[in-house]
Amino acid sequence: MREALQWIADSSWTQFALAVIIFDIPRYTLSLLSLALLGLTRLLAQGQTPVRTSVSVIVPAFNGGSGLLRSVESLRQQTLPPLEIIVVDDGSTDDTRAIAEQARAAGLVDMVICHGTRCGRSAAINAAARFASGELLLTVDADTLFEPTAVARLASAFADPRVAGASCNIAISNETSSIWTRLQGIEYLMSISAGRTILDIVGAIACLSGACSMYRRDVFVRHGGLDVGPGEDLEFSLRLRRLGYLVRFVPDAWAETAGVVSGLGLLRQRARWDRDALRIRLITYGELRFFHRFERLPDTLQRLDFILFDLIPTLSLPFYLIYLMVLLGSDAFLFLAAIYFALVWISFFNLGLAFALFKRKPSFLNLGAALLFPIYQGVWLKCARLVSYSSEIIFASSKDDDFVPPRVRRALFAESEGAHR
């Protein structure tokens, strides 16, 4: 290992700088150090402005019966109780409808809407929004669990009349289920808790999480609700930004959602997220240019965050590896081992600082997962993202996304093709 460290010391600044960019070495470390220097506790206290408002909760559920009751119960235990909870059974084939009706009979749910066939998450939320009466809409997945103050803290973001949407901090509820869920727990702590907190400070939040987001109901309805195509949470967030509204992230409003347990399932989930993100940013909103005329600085920052820390490192990965092999030959493996060793120590540092800043409880198994996190973040997910981006660029694979029901997808693309004729 001493030889590996000596490789880093002897490397040219170009080699090390490329490694820094490709493997995300500085990204979350800089975010966490910035939050520590700025004083995260002070920033959170400044952001808490109690508001008197009413909140309608919409829970779209497709085969979500297993987690629905716990989610609803956590909503009923909030310090800011919901005005109403509306559950939409979106053509489920399990016991979702029966559980929703039982919850309604018990007074936990106010309305149950049933779709005979699956219409998709967006259509379910849009349908329920027509019946909602609260000033704010909270959309949640059927497996999302909330800390008691989460809804009140989310609502406090709307004390600013310019804010049209806000999302909460998210942890993994089933973190102990597998090594994959433990790695997702660390990933969420870095990318969501640390990453989005610093982006919120500069007004550069790009995506309101589908697991838990809150909107002004009048703005949501006036601007057509969620798009029924894939990637609806990112698309609506960017639409709100383009319309001049602010979107916020509230780091002290905590919720938990179930992570994907298997590696293959995780790859499928991320492939869908990555393809949709590229399509929406590249085609729908044309965000891949470095600068747009008359664009606000926060909008430029949110685009550059995606381009510089996501798109460019991902697409550069194979060329970087070829460059190392040509430049260093067999010593390239020693150089990569040195980079991995440095990343492990950075991972431990990041994890400790994140647990301290966000007051989460670490475990011994978290430390074990931290050993694998550099490979998970810098290799596994990056290679998966490279395949997803390539398939989207070459084949427009998002048009076959099974997250959107086939009949809805066919109608969408038939309409799109007709508009281009």
Q: Which amino acid is at 387?
A: V
Q: What is the mean pLDDT of residues 130-135?
A: 96
Q: CA 209, 210, 212 angle in degrees (round to 5)?
A: 75
Relative orientation angle of helices 331-358 and 2-10, to the nearest 10 degrees: 90
392: its two tokens: 């989207």
Q: What is the mean pLDDT of residues 284-297?
A: 80
Question: What is the SS3 assignment for 164?
Answer: strand
CA distance 96 to 90: 9
Cα 100 to Cα 60, 94, 97, 110, 113: the distances in Å are 11, 12, 5, 10, 9
Which one is predicted more confidently, 286 or 259?
Answer: 259
SS3 sequence of 40-88: HHHHHHHHCCCCCCCEEEEEEECCCHHHHHHHHHHHHCCCCCCCEEEEE
Considering only CA atoms, which of 73, 54, 48, 51 is closest in space to residue 252?
48
Predicted local distance difference test score (pLDDT) of residue 11: 61
Predicted local distance difference test score (pLDDT) of residue 365: 77
Q: CA 109, 49, 146 angle in degrees (round to 5)?
A: 35
Q: What is the mean pLDDT of residues 28-46?
A: 77
Domains for the chain: give ranges and CATH numbers.
Answer: 2-38+301-400 (no CATH), 48-284 (3.90.550.10)
258 pLDDT higher than 70: yes
CA distance 414 to 402: 16
Predicted local distance difference test score (pLDDT) of residue 78: 96
pLDDT tens, position by position, 292-306: 777 888 999 999 899
Half-sphere exposure of 340 (CA within 13 A, CB side): 13
pLDDT tens, position by position, 236-247: 999 999 999 999
271 pLDDT higher than 90: yes
CA distance 78 to 157: 17
Is pTM beyond 0.85? Reply is yes
Least confident of 57-71, 316-330, 401-415: 401-415
Predicted local distance difference test score (pLDDT) of residue 4: 53
Q: Are strands 163-172 and 246-257 parallel, antiparallel or unpaired?
A: parallel
Predicted local distance difference test score (pLDDT) of residue 333: 87
Strands, E, within 240-372: which ranges?
A: 246-257
Q: What is the mean pLDDT of residues 334-359?
A: 87
Radius of gyration of the chain (CA): 22
Q: What is the mean pLDDT of residues 257-286?
A: 93
125 pLDDT higher than 80: yes
Q: Are strands 136-140 and 212-216 parallel, antiparallel or unpaired?
A: antiparallel
Question: What is the SS3 assignment for 347?
Answer: helix
Which one is predicted more confidently, 50 or 58?
Answer: 58
Q: What is the mean pLDDT of residues 372-382?
A: 91
